Structure 1
Amino acid sequence: MDDDTSYARWEQRTEIPLFVASLAFMAAYATRVLAVDLASGWLRLCWLVMLGLWALFVVDYLVRWRLRGQRFLRFVSSHFLHTVVVVLPLLRPLRIVPLYDAIQPRQGAPRLSLHARVIAYASLSTLLLGFAGALAVYQQERGAPGATMRTFGDAVWWAASTLSTVGYGDITPVTPTGRVIATGMMVCGLGLLGAVTGSFSSWLMQSFSRHGDERRPPGR
């Protein structure tokens, strides 16, 4: 119980600063990928910022593990998202739900319904995932032999069509790493799209049911 209390207190205090740090990591990564004409000193500074922030994420992960008091492999299996964002720190901004849980006690009662929150979380996650995926794929595809993704705009278009499960096929990754990233984005796109459509459908059914009950005469 003490471990759980300490863990919750640590998460409450660190979730917001770490989310800001994750946005800084993404900004530094985007600078390295997009600002190709930037002086080498600034590019090196971006790399050092990324390395320092990644070390911060690792320290947070290890502290959480110690506070849980679990064996390492059990902690890894039971905290899958934590493990993923340590291995792939570019995805750390996707930890929006824990961020909301850290902010909510200060705000009082939720202002949005459950369905609205799910749709908002999924939509914001889609935007962040699309931007991160476009950056990662563009870095791999840029200059590759036979690549159809020649600009970052092409990468954004590809990310949008992939996450929406449309997949026009006009722009496709040709490098092995690019295709691995594409596979991950396809899976995430299906999950996020399912969350949005499922929540919206549930909200419609509840709304129609509620209006039907209100219009039904008493005693029937």
Structure 2
Amino acid sequence: MDDDDSRLARWENRSEVPLFLLSLLFLGAYAAHVLATGWPQAAHTALLALIDAVWACFAVDYLVRLRLSGHRFGPRYVAHHLLDTVVLILPLLRPLRAVHIYQVMQRRHEQPRLSLYGRVISYAGMSAVLLGFSGALAVYQQERYAPGATIRTFGDSVWWTCETLTTVGYGDVTPVTFWGRVIAAFLMLMGLALLGAVTGSFSSWLYQAFAREGELPPGR
């Protein structure tokens, strides 16, 4: 098992950065496919082929990680590698594995470059931007031609995504399709999770700051 762990670590060290760059390529190709409506059909066919090829790379990486882990695929493996499984099913979220890139880089250093609170804020901010952009693209693709849709432009979709992730929810624009609402439910859950992570981290930082300055009441 130790040999399996070392082989898995070597694979991660070699593959994480190239796969992260591929994830950005995937996101860019998908964005061009959704937004560049004036491009010829041949260009969209090439974009779809590129998207499929990059996803195939993600699938190969997932299978290699499964093989090198020494475990069998099943509920237990999925539970312990939830992020890997989610980004395979929803490759638009693959850039979220930037967290793993940071971990790979830190194996070469004894101390982290950022504090825990700094990392939480950085990851939450990056995740919010990524989820917002990806969610806006996905909802726009589902809603733009739907009968009775209120999300007709990409700007409408971005505005709706900001409302959803920040849990404001004005209700001026809403998805009407089935898959649009599925995406909306996912973004609502992620918005709550991100808000909770940032709020909890900030509260903990304030508590420690007050404790260091002796401003907390006795017994706390």
TM-score, normalised via structure 1 length: 0.93
Paired amino acid for 1:152: F
Question: Partner letter of residue 201 of structure 2?
Answer: S
Assess if the C-alpha contact under 8 Å between 1:147 and 1:173 holds in 2.
yes
1:105 aligns with 2:107: yes
In structure 1, what is the equivalent of residue 38 of structure 2?
37
Which structure 2 segments of 5+ residues have no match? Answer: 216-220
Structure 1 segments unaligned to the other structure (5+ residues) = 214-220
| Dislocated runs of 4+, deviation >4 Å | none
Task: Give matches, 1:89-128, under 5 Å.
Answer: 89-106=91-108, 109-128=111-130
**Which residue of structure 2 aligns with residue 55 of structure 1?**
56
Correspondence for 2:199 among 184, 197, 200: 197
Report the TM-score when normalising by structure 2. Answer: 0.93
**Structure 1 equivalent of residue 10 of structure 2:** 9
Residues 164-215 of structure 1: CA deviation (Å, up to 9, x unaligned) = 11111111000000000000000011001100111011111111111127xx
The answer to whether the Cα contact below 8 Å between 1:96 and 1:125 also exists between their aligned partners in 2 is no
Alignment partner of 1:206 out of 205, 208, 214 = 208
What's the offset of the Cα at 1:91? 1.0
Q: Does 1:78 align with 2:84?
A: no
Question: Sequence identity, in percent?
Answer: 61
Which residue identity does 1:26 align to in structure 2? L
Which residue is 1:216 aligned to? none
Moved more, 155-164 or 106-115: 106-115
Q: 1:153 aligns with which of 148, 152, 155?
A: 155
Q: In 2, distance between residues paired with 1:127 and 1:108? A: 30
One-letter identity of the residue aligned with 1:171: V
One-letter amino acid of the counterpart of residue 69, structure 1: G
Aligned residues: 215
Q: Which residue of 1 aligns with 2:218?
A: none
Distance (whole Å) between structure 2 residues aligned to residue 84 and residue 209 of structure 1: 39
Aligned CA RMSD, in angstroms, stands at: 1.6
Corresponding residue of 2:165: 163
Q: CA deviation at 1:75?
A: 2.2
Work out the CA distance in 2 between the residues paired with 1:124 and 1:63. Answer: 27
